[in-house]
Structure 1
Amino acid sequence: MPRQARVIVPGFPHHIVQRGHNRQPVFVERRDFEYYLANLQEWKQAYELEVFSYCLMTNHVHLVVQANDNLSAIPQLMKRLAGRQTRFVNALEKRSGSLWEGRYKISPIDTDAYLLACCRYVELNPVKAGMVDKPESYEWSSYSARVGSSYCHWLDEPDTFRGLAVSHQMRVEAYRKFVEQADGSPSDELIRAAINSNKLTGGGKFVDEIEKRIGIRVETRKPGRPITEK
Structure 2
Amino acid sequence: MTRLARHYVPDQPQHIILQGLTGPAFLDEGDYLYFLACLADAARVADLAVHAWVLMPDAIQFLVTPSFESSVTMAMQAVSRRYVETFNRRHGRRGTVWRGAYCATVIEPDRYFLLTSQVIDHAPVRNHLVAEPGNYPWSSYTHHIGLRVDSFIKDHPLYRTLGDTPFERHQTYRDLSAQPLDELEVNNLMQSTLNGWVLGSAAYCEWAAQTANRRLKPLLLRDRPPKVRTTGALAHAG
Structure 2 length-normalised TM: 0.87
Gaps in structure 1 of 5+ consecutive residues: 222-230
1:42, distance to aligned residue in structure 2 (A): 1.1
1:220, distance to aligned residue in structure 2 (A): 6.3
Q: How does 1:31-42 map to 2 (within 5 A)?
A: 31-42=30-41
Aligned positions, number: 219
Deviation sequence 1:18-69 (CA, Å, 0-9, x none):
11124x310111111000001111111112211000000001110111111x
User: Is the deviation greater in 77-86 or in 210-219?
Assistant: 210-219
Q: Contact 2:18 / 2:103 at 8 angstroms: preserved in 1? A: yes
SS across alignment from 1:36: helix
Gaps in structure 2 of 5+ consecutive residues: 220-238
Q: How does 1:95-114 map to 2 (within 5 A)?
A: 95-114=93-112
User: Is the deviation greater in 180-189 or in 128-137?
Assistant: 180-189
2:194 is the alignment partner of 1:196: yes
- Residue 132 of structure 1 is matched in structure 2 by 130
Q: Contact 1:207 / 1:220 at 8 angstroms: preserved in 2? A: no
SS across alignment from 1:21: coil
Deviation sequence 1:142-171 (CA, Å, 0-9, x none):
010111112212211110011122222111
Amino acid at match of 2:90: L
Deviation sequence 1:91-141 (CA, Å, 0-9, x none):
112222121122110011111111111000011000111111111111000
User: Is the deviation greater in 159-168 or in 206-215?
Assistant: 159-168
- Residue 115 of structure 2 is matched in structure 1 by 117
Structure 1 length-normalised TM: 0.90
CA distance, structure 2, for counterparts of residue 60 and residue 9 of structure 1: 25
SS across alignment from 2:27: coil
Amino acid at match of 1:18: L
State percent identity of aligned pairs: 24
CA distance, structure 2, for counterparts of residue 100 and residue 138 of structure 1: 22
CA distance, structure 2, for counterparts of residue 110 and residue 88 of structure 1: 36
Higher relative contact order (CA 8 A, sep 6+): 2
Q: How does 1:26-175 map to 2 (within 5 A)?
A: 26-68=25-67, 70-175=68-173
Amino acid at match of 1:64: L
Task: List, as ranges, runs of 4+ consecutive aligned residues in structure 1 with deviation greater than 4 Å.
Answer: none
CA distance, structure 1, for counterparts of residue 177 and residue 58 of structure 2: 23
CA distance, structure 2, for counterparts of residue 184 and residue 67 of structure 1: 27
